[in-house]
Structure 1
Amino acid sequence: MLLKASFATQNAPFEQIKPTPHAKCFPNDTETELIGRFEGQQIYASGTREFLKEITDAVKQDRQLIDDGMLDTKFNNPGLLIICDYGKRIIYMQSDLIGLFPAFWGTSEDGFVISDSIPQLQAVIRGDTDDVAVAEIISKDYTVGTRTLFKGINRVRPGESLLFDLGSRKVRSVDKSQLWTPGDSSSMQSLIQTGAELLVEACRPMTGTMLMMSAGWDSKTLLAGAFAAGVADTIHLYYHGAVDSREARLIRAQADRFGLQLTMKGLDPSLFDHGFLQSSFERYSDVMNPHWHSAALFSARVNPEVQSVSAGIHGEIIGGHDGPPDFLSGWRKSASVFCYLTGVPILRGPHPSGKEISPRDSVGNLKLYHRGKPWYMCEDVWRDRFEGIHAQVDRDIEACVDRYIARGTVWPEAVVEAFDVENRLNQITSDQLRSAATFKPLLAPFANRQLMEFSCGVPYEKKVHRTLNQKVVEKLFPELLEYPTAAVLCKSGRPILVQEVTRAIRKATEDGRWWMYRTTNGKVSAPNFGWPNFQFLQHSTAMRDMVNDLKSPLWDKEKMATFIDNWGYRNYHGLQGVMMKVKTLDLFGVS
């Protein structure tokens, strides 16, 4: 959708225009579309089926959606809403609490332009490449706050309500989210009961869904909710990855035991073919996760009884996945998790400390990222344009923290979680779910407003590293706890601290096996404890071919080709992640 609002035109200032051929977007259930005209207003929306029904009901009931001059919907399901008011010559726009359905805006010479696609908007705005945004994606995999890859194009933040006034040519922004404000002080038993009840209600619409399945906690928790809601026997499980891995075996064992439909799809080099990536970018404006795009094609061909596509992605919030430990690495991360699980008030953040810290001190965690020149960038370009640019990245991070503090967030752990959810989860992982749901309606139980508000309100100490997940699953469908997750070596019903110890053992064992695999040139087989999903690339020219197709002057293509040729007997998971980031930037046309 591309909506243009003219400053000059009085009678019909709003125009939905078709995208240009080089910024096309294929039909998609998650696109923003005009859904009705009511009393001098046009209403545009994108969202889940449940969200669109809520809008229809609200209009029929003449429900008041404007509060204090701003759109304030408080719908229970995620979606984006835009209202164009002809009489007032105003556009109201509001994003859902986690920004699951994206929107962007800019100002042209003659009006405001709004779209759910950056390439469509860039075709009108024609902004220069924003080097700070490029640096953010290179170092963190996502842009921060309102920033996008092009100057003059702004991202609508989760929970943000915007008012575009054509008369004054001004834009007003109000943060309507109250997530991560002072949390729930209830007992653990009460939290488990409330969490279980909200999860079951959120999972009731899962009848006939295709659930993107892993052997992790998020999909395990969704499955428990589906069993408790009485709809699990209608679910179709879908797994993509290494079909001979330990994770695949764990999923197959659960599907067999509980009588669930399961499709397992191995990955292959065709995912990285230039033609497939080009068409994927035209459809999704992103090729970070081409295997999720492939899942969309599968969903279009499966049994018509499959009514929606879902994934456990947003379960990271109730699972305590996005706290301070996840910005650390190595022994410091393990020590931080241990301290949170045992209540020891040291080594929780980036610096050993036993004293209380303020929410602003969380900035230390958020600034822990690589700042040097990446191996794939041209030396001259880095020196001329990117040397020292991370001071501006830090300012973007600080602006986000200021926003959360102004909202009323008081705990540093909550600030860290809010930042990770509203930036990384909002862009990278939400893109996965939206792309998988291209041809079927998207269903996002964890993004249910009541469940989301509850999850964000639980103190981090009470949900750290799946503490709350485990108790909720135990209450709803304890049989699932008899199976380990892919990351640990014991049943998921064992104490979380024990599981974390086995995680460290698994990681050390896996690292050792990768070392042996590399030093023996493959005579010792690669480990399959974790996620060897992209090891087929070792015997493919896909990565090298991708280098040949790159166009942007940012890349040192000669060094990249040599680096890939010498990768040899190593884990290809990280390499393909870097290459898909580079390819996405290249397809955006960053210059």
Structure 2
Amino acid sequence: MEPNSFLISIGFGDVSNMICQKPSYENGSVTFFSSIQTDRLMSSQANADGFGVYIGDRLHATPDYLTRVIESGWDAEKDNGVLVKYSEESGTLVIDSDFLGAEYVYYYLDGKECLISNRMENMTKIKSFSPDLTGIYQYIRAIYSVGDRTFLEGVKQTRAQTSLSINTKALTVSSQHSASWKVAKDKEYSKQSMAELWLQTLEESPRSVLMLSAGWDSRMLLAGNLGRFDFSYTHGELDSREVSLAFELTSENLPKSVFCKLDESSYTLDTMNRMLKDLGHAFFPHWYFAAQQCKLLSDAPLTSGLLVEHLSGHYGITSEGSRLSKGLKLLKSLGAASKLEKMSPDAINSYIVEMLKAPAVHKGWFYSDGFLDSYEEIKSTHSNDVALAIQGYQKQGTAGLQEVFERFKMEHSSRQYFALQTKCGNTANGYHHPFADSRLSKAVIEIPFKNRVHYKLSRDIVGVLAPDLLSKPLAATLAKAKHPVVVQEMSRVVRIAYEGIYRRFKPNASFKLSWNNFQFLNELDIFNETIDSLRSDIWDKSQMHKFVEGFQRGKGNGYALLDMFSKIMTIDNIISPKN
């Protein structure tokens, strides 16, 4: 079994021999296995009456969290993580998700057999699955699979604010969805009350290591009791503007700050394969390195601003498209908010489906001809998936273009991709996501998007708790954090224009405004080695080698290529498991 994982099998044969492990619980056709390397992120219990397993970051501060939620019952508006519990008396297995769906599990059920796990690799040890070409395409294109789709046909993932109930005798499933994601359209929030709620969230957070940036997320985290941080950790270019700003934020407040250059991390095939084993993905090797380094200095989990986008008002329609279209959408969001709110449900659905539709012709340099033969069907299925997801949100009470699209992005981009950064601490000291707190999230979502757009709420909270943090500029903008959104965005345009000109004439040079210079990756052979290691026949290895050769010769964006190969490795590991 994979580290820090569980597996539930129903209706299968001798699963113990397949995975070389004894079950924690076995009765009739229901078998439960767990493999826990650290009790900071996963807890399980089993007895004659059944079993339960909890995955989430609340174990850092509350080691008996599993016992508590089993006894008191799960509340998606208060609890965090995911809870799986089975009662032998009722023969019912229940999977409960939290407000943001920050933790999720996978399940397969066909009426005769059932598999449930937080790692799909455990499931492929028991049963062979065909690749889900639509799920793979969606993940390659946007780094998420839509709705409950995954890389494997028949395997689904749990959703946010959802409770699944599986009858283990009839092998049927039913679901209940919370209607909590509702917005009071005219609600004005109290800066003081929101600041107090955020401060309470911080006070209940465990002692941790702060993954520091110069953005709003870190300023929010620095606005509370700084004594809960052992130290801060930053990676990037030491002489970059963002790293300098980050150190200025903490120099007078934290006793210790650690810095590592990006090229100190390991970007070898062995490292990526270790990540696949430890984490189930190959994203963010520099975060994986950070987790290992921090483990040498502290026993505290990593914490960061991941899953902050709902509070920051970052995931409206302004988050999708080119930089020009994002700018135009921002102006529209600020100047015509009421018009966007009045769009009909059908108009909202059509707008989002059109915005996220697959291009007419796919020009991927990595797919085999056999995969591309299915592209027309993939395009249609993808648009249908998006439409069904949007309709589901609307049926559950979410209304307004900005709010509906924000919910889509939070459930897809935020939890399936960006949150994987801190989750690189899975087999080290673990991680903690304060912005995923369900009580905080519910209070935030009740505030109209127009009152949160582009960090309005973030600025108000920091202004109440730590106004000095507004006196310095942000990483992405040149104006001080205290200035209005329009001024901030104008300075962002200037920064982007300068960055574009600089990179055009000096593509391989260190860029002083940005923390992330990954151009050294163009000198490594990791990409060609990765291509040779791929097992699935959906990849065109010959074409991939040719693309990499031209890309590196032209000094392309090293990080963009690393990110693409991280997706490819992650998918290949699932759909073509090693014997």
Q: Could you tell me the TM-score, scaled by structure 1's length?
A: 0.87
Shift, 1:52, TM fit: 5.4
Shift, 1:109, TM fit: 7.6
Among 150, 153, 176, the alignment partner of 1:151 is: 153
Q: Which letter does structure 2 place at the counterpart of 1:538?
A: N
Helix, strand or coil: the match of 2:166?
strand
Q: Aligned pair in 2 of structure 1 residues 425, 388: CA closer, same or farther (>3 Å)?
A: same
Distance 1:441 1:31 in 2: 6
Other-structure match for 1:219: 218
Q: Which letter does structure 1 place at the counterpart of 2:325?
A: R
Distance 2:389 2:202 in 1: 32
Helix, strand or coil: the match of 2:219?
helix
The aligned runs of 1:36-435 (5 Å cut-off) are 36-37=46-47, 40-47=49-56, 48-49=58-59, 50=61, 53-58=64-69, 62-63=71-72, 65=73, 72-74=74-76, 76-107=78-109, 110-179=112-181, 181-183=182-184, 185-188=186-189, 190=190, 192-206=191-205, 208-224=207-223, 226=224, 230-232=225-227, 234-268=229-263, 271-304=266-299, 307-343=300-336, 356-363=342-349, 364-369=351-356, 370-371=358-359, 372-378=361-367, 380-435=369-424
Distance 2:270 2:65 in 1: 39
5+ long unaligned stretches in structure 1: 19-24, 66-71, 349-354
Q: Which letter does structure 1 place at the counterpart of 2:187?
A: S
The answer to whether the Cα contact below 8 Å between 1:103 and 1:117 also exists between their aligned partners in 2 is: yes
The answer to whether the Cα contact below 8 Å between 1:207 and 1:235 also exists between their aligned partners in 2 is: no
Other-structure match for 1:544: 528
Alignment size in residue pairs: 554
Shift, 1:503, TM fit: 0.4
Report which stretch shifted further, 379-388 or 471-480.
379-388
Helix, strand or coil: the match of 1:129?
coil
Helix, strand or coil: the match of 1:314?
coil
The answer to whether the Cα contact below 8 Å between 2:11 and 2:114 also exists between their aligned partners in 1 is: yes
Helix, strand or coil: the match of 1:124?
coil
The answer to whether the Cα contact below 8 Å between 1:136 and 1:142 also exists between their aligned partners in 2 is: yes
Other-structure match for 1:532: 516
Q: Aligned pair in 2 of structure 1 residues 182, 233: CA closer, same or farther (>3 Å)?
A: closer
The answer to whether the Cα contact below 8 Å between 2:278 and 2:426 also exists between their aligned partners in 1 is: no
Q: Which letter does structure 2 place at the counterpart of 1:322?
A: Y
The answer on 1:571 being equivalent to 2:566 is no
Other-structure match for 2:37: 27
Superposed CA deviations along residues 41-77 of structure 1, whole A, max 9, x for unmatched, are 3222122225654443355xx53x3xxxxxx534634
Distance 1:6 1:86 in 2: 15
Other-structure match for 1:504: 493
The answer to whether the Cα contact below 8 Å between 1:46 and 1:81 also exists between their aligned partners in 2 is: yes
Among 461, 465, 468, the alignment partner of 1:472 is: 461
Q: Aligned pair in 2 of structure 1 residues 456, 323: CA closer, same or farther (>3 Å)?
A: same
Shift, 1:176, TM fit: 2.5
The answer to whether the Cα contact below 8 Å between 2:8 and 2:30 also exists between their aligned partners in 1 is: yes
The answer to whether the Cα contact below 8 Å between 1:322 and 1:417 also exists between their aligned partners in 2 is: yes
Shift, 1:331, TM fit: 2.0
Superposed CA deviations along residues 269-318 of structure 1, whole A, max 9, x for unmatched, are 863311111111011111122222222212321134xx332111111110
Shift, 1:146, TM fit: 0.8
Other-structure match for 2:572: 586
Q: Aligned pair in 2 of structure 1 residues 124, 233: CA closer, same or farther (>3 Å)?
A: closer
Q: Could you tell me the TM-score, scaled by structure 2's length?
A: 0.89
Shift, 1:585, TM fit: 1.8
Helix, strand or coil: the match of 1:126?
coil
Distance 2:42 2:113 in 1: 20
5+ long unaligned stretches in structure 2: 1-5, 14-24
Shift, 1:543, TM fit: 2.4
Q: Aligned pair in 2 of structure 1 residues 587, 299: CA closer, same or farther (>3 Å)?
A: same
Helix, strand or coil: the match of 1:44?
strand
Distance 1:336 1:197 in 2: 32
Other-structure match for 2:435: 446
Helix, strand or coil: the match of 1:45?
strand
The answer to whether the Cα contact below 8 Å between 2:45 and 2:53 also exists between their aligned partners in 1 is: yes
The aligned runs of 1:458-469 (5 Å cut-off) are 458-469=447-458
Distance 2:126 2:49 in 1: 27
